[in-house]
Amino acid sequence: MHQIMVTIQGWRRSPDLGLIERLLSENPDWGRSRLSVALRELWDWCAANGQLKDMACRSLLLRLEQAGQIRLPPRQRKSPNAYRNRSPLWVPHCSEPIAGVLNELTPPRITCVKTASEQDRLFRCLLSTHHYLGLRNTAGENMKYLVHARDGRPLACVLFAAPAWQCRARDAWIGWEASAR
């Protein structure tokens, strides 16, 4: 088995696979979370604010497992994320085709969608039903908006998500170096 180089949130190195395997063999009752905590502490892997990088370490472990470098213990409990891999429920709404002139729809009403609200349920229903990719889950921080016609019919869903940690084209255009990011 060869060592692989990984980069996660600016942290670039070959993780010590021997250490990971040793921790797992010496602590057979540990789950993925406990392993992640131990590794973050041993590697002193912290964000600029001093907080341990929990999600980054878990991403690293999953990436190593997917690459066949390690074998993680099975999950001990379901994800606390209530929306993970769950199909949204159907929410009744007007779904007749929109025909006519544009000024009959204006002015549009744009509303910010609050999590777990009735509008959020409609938003998820609309995306899962009408978007070509559907809707499984949103990642990271995001803002959702619903656009309604003057008569209240839904016209559009708008989802703004947090930017990717690293995107070569964007970073080059902005002029960001890895140290600045």
- 103 and 169: one domain? yes
- 107 and 150: one domain? yes
- 96 and 25: one domain? no
- 134 and 58: one domain? no
pLDDT at 181 over 70: no
- 22 and 94: one domain? no
- Tell me the pLDDT tens digit for each residue of 119-176: 999 998 898 888 877 776 676 778 999 999 998 999 999 999 877 777 788 888 888 8
* Residue 129 within a domain: yes
Asked if residues 18 and 11 have their Cβ atoms less than 8 Å apart, the reply is no
* Residue 74 within a domain: no
Residue 141's identity, in one-letter code, is E
* Residue 73 within a domain: no
- Looking at the structure of the chain, the number of domains it has is 2
- Tell me the pLDDT tens digit for each residue of 10-58: 666 677 888 888 999 999 889 888 898 888 888 887 777 677 777 788 8
| Mean pLDDT, rounded, for 61-73 | 85
pTM value > 0.75? no
